[in-house]
Every structure is written in structure tokens, then in C-alpha cells.
Amino acid sequence: MTGTLLDHHDVVLLDLDGTVYRGGQLAPGADEAIAEVRARGVLVRYVTNNASKPAQAVSEHLNSLGLSATTDEVSTSSQAGAALLAEQLPAGAKVLVVGSEALADEVAQVGLTPVRENADEPVAVVQGHSPDTGWWNLAEACLAIRDGALWVACNADATLPTERGELPGNGSMVAALRAATKQEPQVAGKPERPLLARAVSSAQAGRPLMVGDRLDTDIGGAVRSGMPSLMVLTGVGTAADVLFALVGERPDHVADDLRGLHLPQAATVIGEQPGWKVRVGEGVLELAADSAQPQPDSTEARAAALGALRALCAAWWPLGSGPVEVRAEDSTSGDALRELDLG
């Protein structure tokens, strides 16, 4: 397990909100970490479940934050959704679009015909997030789906993170149509495979790494796609979320932020950690520090705490999932658990 984490991959798939940026600001260390990825000759792909904006708008936003991003480095769930339709429909087929004009444009670019009403006799429905979606749009889609139209959802995220908090996402609108039609859509975005597969294919890569801040979409998508993943703690996911993760949503690596790409692989991988011992009892994990472990400064303390988290995961995951009590056996381990908000 020699070299940095990046040494083992030829493309890095980066989630956006919570991983590369948070709202209108870059996540800590994102600019230097991504610049170093490029300097090392490793490809970058930005993957987003947001279907409301075209790839060009996404790249422009990234450039406005100080990153160098081109349109062909961006993979959106609207692109993945349109591609999924094109694989199953003849050229020119009519597709009822529930979503933004950006989504309609993606449908047109793959040779299909976007429409907005069921009266146009669509053979498929594609659904992506748009703040302008209303009851009328859902009603048209409902009629089409009930008439047998193929149904593709760009993503199924129940909520959408905004500066105001978590708001209804595309998955909430999908749930309304699911209830009304008793049908299930094909899903193009994370955690399903089409979006990530498209990003890897665009890079012609063979050793991808998925990096994200959400277990249910980013890490779950990596697991379903059979690729390794790095969980960063700059967004939604917490240390407790990682420790309690379900089997299909467990990362291979954990780091504070994107600078973890350039750490030694042994410093990010889930597994037994030097300086920490974990004993598994009856519904409890007991964390103890090696008595020889020196007193760290603040930076070292954070790194040590993340090591404790990886050790706890390595002990708990083979035995169970979900919440488990964690106890500190000494003051050093107590400090680590407090640093992780686990104690």
C-alpha cells in the first residue's frame, strides 16, 4: 500500500456541492488539491446529479470559483438521462420533459424530440429538477406514464441543498408520480450506474476513483459501479454517518477534504491503524490509544482522530451496520471521539 491515493488512479470523479464547493465558496483545500491532480497528469471529471443546468453553466461556475474546468469535464444527470433514453428509443421519438430547458436540450442533442404535453403522444418521460415544475407538468407526465410511456428520472435525490437549507429535490417530485402511477422509473444519476459510467467512458479511463460527501449517492454509486471511493467530510456526511454506514454505502477511504488525494494511501484507507486499538463488546466499540502515542498538536490531533475513525470502521463493519455505542478507554481516545463528535 505504497504511494499516495492518487497514484493508483487515472481519473478522479468529483461530486460538486459539499465536495468541491459549498454554496458559493470552494471547499477547504479544493483548489490546490485539484491543481495537483492535474499536475500529476490524472484526469478530472465533475459529476453532478443536478439536471437543471447545462454542462457549460456548471463549468462556468467552477471557473468563477477559480478552478480550471472545461465543458467536456462535466457529466450531469441530464446528459445521463438523455443517453439512457437514446439507448432504448428510435431516433426522433417524442419525449415528454419534466424539468428545465437544459434537460430538453440534452434530449434534442441525442436525436430525440422533446415535448411538454401528453397530447403530443410521447413514448417516454424524462424527469429532472427544475424550480419551475408545477402540478400541470406532473399531471402531463402522469398521463403519459399511465399510457405506457418509458419513464426515466435523472436522479432520485429527495432533497436539494441550498443556502436556505434542504429543499425538495427531484426525488420528491418522482415520489409524487410514483404514488400517482404505481410505476418505477429508471434512474440515471447517482447512486445508479449510468452517470458514473458515462463520466469514466468520457475519460477513457480504467482506474477511476469516486470522491464525494454523501453516502447514499456518491459512495453508494461507487459501490454499485464497482469502483473505489473516497469520502470527504466537507459536506453532508459526518464521521458518525461513516461509522454507521450501510453495507452498500461504505467508502474505501476517508479524509477531511480533497487534500486526502495526496496523502499516503495508508493514511486514508479503512483498516487497522497504528496507535489505536478497538475492542468489540456487546453492542459497544471500545477505543483505546497506544500508550506510546505522543501528545499531538492540533493538526496531528485531527489526523489521529481520523485514524481512530478508520480503525473503528474496520472493527465494526464486518460485524454489523447502523448505530453502535462508542466508548473511550483513556483520555487520548476520548479527545479523538470528541473531535469526531462521537463522544
**Residues annotated catalytic, as ranges:** 15, 17
**Cβ-count burial of 93 within 10 angstroms (0-12 exposed, 13-18 middle, 19+ buried)?**
middle
CB 106 within 8 A of CB 99: no
Say whether the peptide bond before residue 114 is cis (omega within 30 degrees of 0): no
Helices and strands (H, E) in the chain, number of each type: 11, 18
Query: How crowded is the C-beta side of 123, counted as CA atoms within 13 Å?
Result: 11
Give the cell for residue 306. 481520523
Give the cell for residue 318. 464486518
| DSSP tag of 112 | -
Euclidean distance between CA atoms 105 and 140, whole angstroms: 19
For residue 124, what are the β-bridge partners? 95, 150
CA angle 12, 16, 20 (to 5 degrees): 75
Radius of gyration of the chain (CA): 22
**Cβ-count burial of 49 within 10 angstroms (0-12 exposed, 13-18 middle, 19+ buried)?**
buried
Residue 204 CB: number of other CB atoms within 10 A?
9
State the residue for C-alpha cell 457529466: 75
Sequence-distant (≥ 6) Cβ neighbours of residue 243 within 8 angstroms:
309, 312, 313, 316, 324, 326, 342
Under DSSP, is residue 116 helix (H, G, I), strand (E, B) or coil? coil
Give the cell for residue 5. 491515493
Estimate to the nearest angstrom the gap between the alpha carbon of 281 and the chain centroid: 33
State the residue for C-alpha cell 439507448: 87
**Cβ-count burial of 141 within 10 angstroms (0-12 exposed, 13-18 middle, 19+ buried)?**
buried
